[in-house]
Amino acid sequence: MDEKVTITINGKPYRVDLDQTIMEAADSCGYHIPRLCYHPKLSIEGACRVCIVEVEGMKNYIASCAYPLFDGMKIHTNTKEIRQARRDIVELLLDNHPEDCHVCERDGNCELQRLAYAMGIRHRHFAGERKHYHKDLSSTSVIRDPDKCILCGRCVRMCTEIQGVNALGQANRGFNTVVMPAYDMPFAESVCTTCGQCINVCPTASFVEKNHTQELFAKLNDDSLVKVAQIAPSVRAAIGEGFGLPPGKNMEGQTVAALRKLGFNYVFDTQFSADLTILEEASEFLERVQEKGKLPMITSCSSAWMKYMEQFYPDLIENISTCKSPMSMGSAIIKTHFAEQIKVDPKNIVSVAIMCCTAKKYEARRPELMVNGMQATDIVAVTREIVWMIKSAGIDFLNIKPEEFDSPMGMSSGAGTIFGVTGGVMEAALRTAYELYTGETLVDIELSSIRGFDGIKVGSITMDGKEIRVAVANGLGNAHNLLEIVRKDPERYHFIEIMGCPGGCIGGGGQPYAAANSIPLDTGCLKARAEALYSNDRKKTIRRSHDNPEIQRLYKEFLGRPLSKKSHELLHTHYKPHEPRGIASRKIRAI
Amino acid sequence: MSKKYIITICDGTGCIQKDNAAIRKILEQQLKEHNLTNDVRVNLSGCLGMCDKGPIVVINPGYTIYGNVTTNDIPEIVEEHIVKGKPLARLAIQEDHLYNRFFRIFGDAKFFGKQMRIALRNCGIIDPENIDDYLSLRGYEALAKVLTDMTPKQVIEEVKLSGLRGRGGAGFPTGVKWQITARAGSPNSPRSASDEKYVICNADEGDPGAFMDRSAIEGDPHTVLEGMIIGGYAIGAKQGIVYIRAEYPLAVRRLEKAIADAREHGFLGKNILGSDFSFDIDIRLGAGAFVCGEETALIRSIEGGRGMPRPRPPYPSVEGLFGKPTLINNVETWANIPVVILDSGKWFSTVGTERSKGTKVFALAGMVVNTGLIEVPMGTTLREIIYDIGGGIPNNKEFKAVQTGGPSGGCLPAKYLDTPVDYESLAKAGSIMGSGGMIVIDHDSCMVDIAKYFLEFTQNESCGKCTPCREGTKRMLDILIKITEGKGEMYDIENLERLGNMIKKASLCGLGQSAPNPVLSTILNFREEYEEHVKDKKCRAGVCKQLLTYEITDKCVGCGACKKVCPVVAITGTTKAKHIIDQNKCIKCGACFSKCKFDAIIKK
């Protein structure tokens, strides 16, 4: 519908589309109505009441995020009364919020703080009882701090509507309302998949990642240890945002240099391990195709997805690729082959993964991923943690001279690069699988049908006359929708990629917070980060994992061939059902 | 077989609490002993409304009402009234108030004459668990009429003509709501293309002290069902749901029985009364959240979510339960529908005032002689309700205020006593009709304390979703507590007004939008009491403990009883000499005050 209506905003007439809310219309006319609980990707909550406006003829103030337009509507966004009421509302939020901005993780990056500043609130008005709860530190990945919660409900909506996990909900009433997992269970025992999307959308610091920076600093200062880092593909596409750069600047060289300055002895690339994953995964897929194994095969790189699958889709365990994630493959090689090469006892190697992902902190502790009785990845630090560490170490990140990764795990193909974007694993795997299956090189390697940010994308490729149908889902809610199709029609697809976070790893729960004038998980931001990886892929001369000479050398010197005994021992694993307490079966509504 | 007497025992919740079961047992025993079982029929009925005088026994013919009946009275009643035919003056309720008239009207059989009971017309008359009783009083006749003689459009026109407005509190014209819901989903309404629709009865009565819906369902569940079926026919729905709180087990049980009986008689289910209209009703139990009386929160609760309201529009009429057009009305509204159909909307519109038609049920409570359930025509004044029906204030005390509309309503002082009860007049006076709570307040109550009580309720019952209601009412409550503790400042009263007005205008749902009403209306009408608390640190009603002082006067004989009972040893004095209270130690528990036999201790 493109019906137009005439409205007036603050006395000025505008001709706008009818089919939108007051807020959307005001945005298009250059009025940015202050807002807090609103998020364009989530349902309308109408909870914070910060975006109220006056509409002539209406007794009450109207929440502009929720109210549709009508012809002749006379809207006032900035009267004395509205400004005062808005200010009162933000003051009320502040009055039940800890006064500890200067020691808060979101200091300088907090939507409530920004709003209070913009409203001109310089002192507190209604001081009174303030809520106090204990922090929930039980999770490996996400800390829940209800004291800082302003009950905007974004986390609840994210967890329910986008992720389909339903780990969070409001409980209790009135002043005692609090967001918590069911039955106030510790986060660690809840159905939380540790994806960290609640952190991404939280306007304050009610959800933050479990911080491992102090532990990491201590290791970096220990000269008896060999400190090895690996960097996930999407970290380099977003880390610049932590230093004030716009999204989409690839800061690979700067990150490598900064990590060396922080004290790492070796800086490797998770993209190398991604290439390794592709060789294993593509081979596994072809084995399943040729030997009539369980299909569709579903990727297993995303840690949040793995926990989600164990909890809600244990019936699909046989369909899950046995490949470990690139991080865990990389760490396994570091603690075995690499340790041998540099002649260091693997016990004296600290394997650190710099990830975009809070769920990797959970993955690192999984007993299934142990290598020779050791935790393969010792510490996982997310992009945000590394940003602070670089800042606190006084490293001039923006002006630092870019450096190259160390060998042997520093070289990667374009296929490894695009792992960070939804559809990338599938694209990379097909580039290799095609060649392994047909013996010919895939010419048109950019599979546009599975690129982009649609929730579920499907495509197909023909290999020697055999049609391979593939599907890609990003965000766990979309994964749910796709898997419901698979449960009903297992034959429909041969190969499925699932990424737990919206947009894939580039939208991970550990990425820098949205900048002051932008929205968390804004599609424009995700697109820019994705483009940073796609353009990197295009620039590379080696764009297929199996063409990576360092990978070839690793197989020659150490692993033998894909799916060899050694590969199985180090690079593959099996998952077990992990049905959450009190949940026998569940259904979420279509998103 | 004709009976000489019909003895009706009230089986409302109040009388059940007072063990009417034992009375029935003894009565039946006595009748057997006197060999009267063939001459006397013993009935149970729903709430008669005279809850303060329960257990109630009514003997017909003669409309003799016995109150405060105990098991010991039964042999006397049987002996004197049934055997000798002489009503027992000792127990009979003589006052000529509503209840007696109510029975006379029914005795005259002028069923829809000038009586006041429309929604509650059968309550107290019929056995609510017996569908035949309902049928004998024209039950389901309206449904039959609708199905045989009227199109859905005509039904809606009839309801519009009646002028009936929503009895849940907001007073939205019922017919208009029906029309919107009927049109939703049709090709000229783009929003939802589905033909699936729902009908909901909102029986989530949550106001403290309100029991209108409960008594209506307990007393006459079929009329609510009949109203809903007619509503379903009018808008084209196939499924109805009664959302009722689990705290009303008796109402739920009777409703369940009524639904089962209605199904058995073909009033519910496939092809009702042989027509091509099919409709069924289910019950959903609520867990007692006040906010679930708000329609969008109620719908969310039925859907299985946490009962939190959502912004409107879209209204439930367009997008309601499971996103489908939903007609949601309150119990009392539904109970009016069969009358509107049978006796015409035109007749209905002759009752009441110009803009508020029909009658309204109130739960009369507080400092009034006759507490209970009443139904009066719109336009009856507060004075008539409180003094004529309610019998005035007990112990010859003076009227101070009346609180209408439950925790969302306001407190009206004596100058508003001649306000007629209708939607507009009450709103103009600064209160609301609400769902029908009415609490009478005398001079023993402190208005600041009353405001605090209601605000505490709404703050506890706030769903916690929107900031003004969740945080704002908490801050208002903080301020009120401060004032009642004698720590208030004059700016606190201004802050209360400013916050209150902001919360009213900025909150998401009706709960928040009305939560400040008790505070704002008491500030408006009893400002001097607030100022006394703040400036003089005085509570004139002697309610706010922190502002009280207990003192011992010269009447003290030095008996020492007060000294013994004081829990904090604040009282000193030797025997036979005047005692003294140490004000620094005193915790104002009032134990000494109640203990003193000589009225020597005074509250100040």
The CATH number assigned to the domain holding A542 equals 3.40.50.1780
User: What confidence score (pLDDT) does residue B3 get?
Assistant: 66
**If we measure between CA atoms, which residue out of A325, A319, A323, A344 comes closest to residue A334?**
A344
Sequence-ordered alpha helix ranges (H) in A96-201: 111-118, 154-157, 197-201
Residue A58, in any domain of the structure: yes
Measured in angstroms, the CA of A287 and the nearest CA of chain B are apart by: 45
Q: What CA–CA distance (Å, rounded) separates A349 from A338?
A: 10
Does B353 fall in a domain? no
Asked if the Cβ–Cβ distance from A126 to B495 is below 8 Å, we say yes
Known catalytic residue at A323: no
Q: Which of B470, B485, B503 has the most A C-beta neighbours within 10 Å, making it the best mutation to test the interface with A?
A: B470
Does residue A310 lie in a domain region?
Answer: yes
State the pLDDT at residue A476.
97
What is the pLDDT confidence band of residue B94, given thresholds at 50, 70 and 90?
low
Say if A590 falls within a structural domain: no
Angle, vertex CA A344, rays to CA A342 and CA A349, nearest 5:
105
CA distances from residue A83 to A50, A89, A90, B500, B513 in whole angstroms, order as listed: 10, 10, 11, 16, 19
* Contact across the interface for A88 and B498, Cβ inside 8 Å: yes
Where does the pLDDT of residue A512 fall: very low under 50, low under 70, confident under 90, or very high at 90 and above?
very high
Q: What mean pLDDT is predicted for residues A338-355?
A: 97
The one-letter code for the residue type at B536 is D
Contact A177 B308 (CB under 8 A): no
Who contacts A350 (Cβ-Cβ below 8 Å, separation ≥6)? A219, A225, A226, A227, A228, A378, A379
Place of tokens 């009936």: B164
Question: Is B474's CB within 8 Å of A96's CB?
Answer: yes
Which residues, in sequence order, are bridge partners of residue A462?
A467
pLDDT of residue A307: 96
When pLDDT is cut at 50, 70 and 90, the band that residue B107 belongs to is very low
Q: Please, are residues A273 and A326 in contact by the beta-carbon 8 Å criterion? A: yes
With residue A143 as reference, give the H or E element that holds it.
strand A142-144
CB-nearest to B462 from A48, A49, A174 is A174
Chain A residues closer than 8 Å to B313 by CB: 67-68
Contact B245, B217 (CB under 8 A): no
Q: Is A301 a catalytic residue?
A: yes
- Looking at the structure, tell me whether residues B523 and B393 fall in a common domain: no
A62 forms beta bridges with A53
Domain count, chain B: 5
Chain B nearest CA to A166, separation (Å): 12
pLDDT at residue B153 tops 80: yes
CB-based contacts of A511: which residues, under 8 Å, 6+ apart?
A200, A234, A238, A241, A356, A382, A383, A384
Could you tell me the residue range of the domain that residue B576 belongs to? 549-603
Band (pLDDT 50/70/90 cuts) for residue B190 is: very low
Residue B167's nearest CA partner among B319, B378, B439, B452 is B378
Q: For this structure, is A284 an active site residue?
A: yes
pLDDT at B191 exceeding the cut of 60: no
- Structural domain including A297 reads 213-571
Over residues A252-269, the mean pLDDT reads: 97
Of these residues, A64, A206, A300, A321, which one is catalytic?
A321
For position B517, which CATH number holds? 1.20.1440.230
User: Tokens at residue B282, please?
Assistant: 């289910």
DSSP B516: T
State yes or no: pLDDT of B331 exceeds 70.
yes
Q: pLDDT class for B113, splitting at 50, 70, 90? A: very low
Query: Is residue A328 within 8 Å of residue A363, measured between CB atoms?
Result: yes
CATH number reported for the structural domain that contains residue A24 in this entry: 3.10.20.740
Contact B596, B561 (CB under 8 A): yes
Give the nearest chain B residue to A127 (CA atoms): B475
Indicate the range of A113-127, B169-183, B394-408 predicted with least confidence.
A113-127
Nearest CA in chain B to A46: B311
Nearest chain B Cα to A129, which residue? B478
Do B172 and B294 lie in a common domain? yes
Give the model's pLDDT for residue B143: 96
Asked if A175 lies within 8 A of B468 by C-beta distance, the reply is no
Question: In angstroms, what separates the C-alpha of A87 from chain B's closest C-alpha?
Answer: 11
Tell me whether residue B438 is in a domain. yes
> What single DSSP character describes residue A502?
T
- B20 burial type by CB count under 10 A (0-12 exposed, 13-18 middle, 19+ buried): buried
Q: Which of A45, A52, A174 sits opposite B464 (nearest CB)?
A: A174
For chains A and B, count residue pairs whose Cβ atoms are closer than 8 Å. 111
How high is the pLDDT of residue B186? 60
Q: Which residue, A454, A463, A468, is CA-closest to A423?
A: A454
From the list A159, A192, A356, A505, the catalytic residue is A505
Q: Which two tokens stand for residue A325?
A: 């994630």
Kindly determine whether residue B311 and residue A44, on different chains, have CB atoms separated by under 8 Å.
yes
pLDDT at B103 > cutoff 90:
no
Q: Return d(Cα A570, Cα A549) in angstroms, integer.
A: 20
Let me know if A449 is a catalytic residue.
no
Residue B393 lies in a domain: yes
Q: Which of A84, A89, A94 to mutate to test the interface with B (most CBs of B within 10 A)?
A: A89
**Span B266-285, mean pLDDT?**
96
Q: Note whether A186 and A250 are same-domain residues.
A: no
Q: Name the residue of chain A whose CA is nearest to B492's CA.
A: A126
| Per-residue model confidence (pLDDT) at position A78 | 95
A272 is a domain residue = yes
On whether any CB of chain A is under 8 Å from the CB of B465, the answer is yes
- Could you tell me if B240 and B200 are in contact, meaning their C-beta atoms sit under 8 angstroms apart? yes
Check pLDDT > 60 for residue A75. yes
A241 in catalytic set: no
B214 and B262 housed in the same domain: yes
Sort out which chain A residues have CB atoms less than 8 A from B289's CB and list them.
173
User: What secondary structure letter does DSSP report for A572?
Assistant: B
| pLDDT for residue B105 | 47
Angle subtended by helix axes A252-262 and A383-392, to nearest 10: 60
Q: Which two tokens stand for residue B131?
A: 């569908």
Residues of A with CB under 8 A from a CB of B: 44-50, 52, 59-61, 63, 66-68, 84-85, 88-89, 92-93, 95-96, 125-126, 128-129, 150-151, 153, 169-170, 172-177
Average pLDDT over residues A194-199: 97
- Of B289, B468, B470, nearest to A177 by CB-CB distance is B470
Q: Does residue B167 have a pLDDT over 70?
A: yes
In a domain, A407, yes or no: yes
- A318 is written with which tokens? 């046989």
Chain A interface includes B498 (CB < 8 A): yes
Indicate if B342 and B363 belong to the same structural domain. Answer: no
B261 within a domain of the structure (yes/no): yes
Residue A585: inside a domain:
no
Give the rounded percent of residues in chain A with a pLDDT score beyond 70.
98
Chain mean pLDDT for chain A: 94
| pLDDT class of B406 with cuts at 50, 70, 90 | confident
Decide if pLDDT at B111 tops 70: no
Share of chain B above pLDDT 90, in %: 66
Question: Which of B442, B459, B479 is a domain's end point?
Answer: B442
How far lies A14's CA from each of A10, A66, A79, A109, in Å? 10, 20, 19, 34
pLDDT value for A581: 66
Q: Is the CB of B514 inside 8 Å of chain A's CB atoms?
A: no
B 519-548 residues with CB below 8 A of A? none
Mutant choice from A22, A61, A173, A591 vs B, greatest count of B C-beta within 10 A: A173
Evaluate whether residue B463 is within a structural domain.
yes
Helix (H/G/I), strand (E/B), else coil: A470: strand
Q: Among all residues of chain A, which has the CA nearest to that of B512?
A: A174
In a domain, A576, yes or no: no
* Strand residues in B19-114 grouped as ranges (E): 40-45, 57-60, 64-66
A563-577, B201-215, B275-289: segment of lowest average pLDDT: B201-215
Please check whether residues B15 and B41 belong to one and the same domain: yes
Contact between chains at B464 and A45 (C-beta distance less than 8 A): no
Q: Are residues B243 and B187 in the same domain?
A: yes
Residues facing residue A21 across a β-bridge: A68
Residue at B105 is within a domain? no
- Flag whether residue B138 sits within 8 Å of chain A, measured between CB atoms: no
Under the banding of pLDDT at 50, 70 and 90, the label for residue B114 is very low
User: What's the DSSP call for residue A371?
Assistant: B
**A505 belongs to the catalytic site:** yes
Residue A97 lies in a domain: no
Q: Are residues B29 and B43 in the same domain?
A: yes
B478–A129 CB contact, under 8 Å: yes
Across the range A365-394, mean pLDDT stands at 96
Instruction: Tell me the average pLDDT across A386-414.
Output: 96
B331 vs B193 pLDDT, higher one = B331
Of B65, B117, B105, whose CA–CA distance to B88 is shortest? B65
- Helices and strands (H and E) in chain A: how many: 20, 17
At B411, give phi and psi (nearest 5°).
-105, 125
Residues A564 and A426 reside in one and the same domain: yes
* Pair (B337, B368) in one structural domain: no
Domains held by chain A: number: 3
Judged by average pLDDT, the poorest of A196-200, B78-82, B202-206 is B78-82
Q: Are residues A437 and A309 in the same domain?
A: yes
d(Cα B392, Cα B386) in Å, to the nearest integer?
6
Label each residue of A206-267 as H, E or C: CEEECCCHHHHHHHHCCCCCEEEEEECHHHHHHHHHHHCCCCCCCCHHHHHHHHHHHCCCEE
DSSP three-state, residue A387:
helix
Tokens linked to B403 = 């609180």
Examine residue B124 and state whether it is found in any structural domain, yes or no. Answer: no
Q: Which two tokens stand for residue B407?
A: 């925790």
User: Tokens 């906010």 belong to which residue?
Assistant: B291
Taking the CA of residue A490 and the nearest CA in chain B, the distance in Å comes to 30
Mutation target to probe the B interface, by most B beta carbons within 10 A, among A18, A20, A49, A96 is A49
Tell me which residue in A85, A93, A129 faces B505 most closely, judged by beta carbons.
Answer: A85
- On average, the pLDDT of chain B sits at 89
User: Across the interface, which of A88, A93, A176 has its CB nearest the CB of B502?
Assistant: A88
Predicted pLDDT of residue A1: 53
Count CA atoms closer than 13 A to A93's CA, side-chain side: 29
Give SS3 for B576.
Answer: coil
Token digits of residue A308: 């989600």
Whether residues B437 and B506 fall in one domain: no
Residues B165 and B261 placed together within one structural domain of the fold: yes
Distance CA B176, CA B345 (A): 14
Using a 10 angstrom Cβ sphere, with 0-12 exposed, 13-18 middle and 19 or more buried, the burial of residue A175 is buried
Indicate whether B259 and B381 sit together in one domain. no
A contacts of B508 (beta carbons < 8 Å): 46-47, 49, 63
Task: Give B209's DSSP letter.
Answer: T
In this structure, the answer to whether residues A144 and A51 fall within a common structural domain is no
- Residue listed under structure tokens 């589309």: A17
pLDDT at B526: 96
The verdict on B64 touching A (C-beta cutoff 8 Å) is no
Query: Helix and strand tally (H, E) in chain B?
Result: 25, 17
Quick one: average pLDDT of B197-220? 92
pLDDT given for residue A378 in this prediction = 97
Amino acid letter, residue A517: N
Q: Which residues contact B2 (CB under 8 A, 6 or more apart)?
A: none
Q: Please confirm, yes or no, whether A360 is among the known catalytic residues.
A: yes
Q: What strands, in cross-sheet order, belong to the sheet with B40-45?
A: B40-45, B5-10, B57-60, B64-66
Residues of A in contact with B468 (CB under 8 A): 49, 89, 92
Q: Which of A209, A281, A385, A550 is catalytic?
A: A281
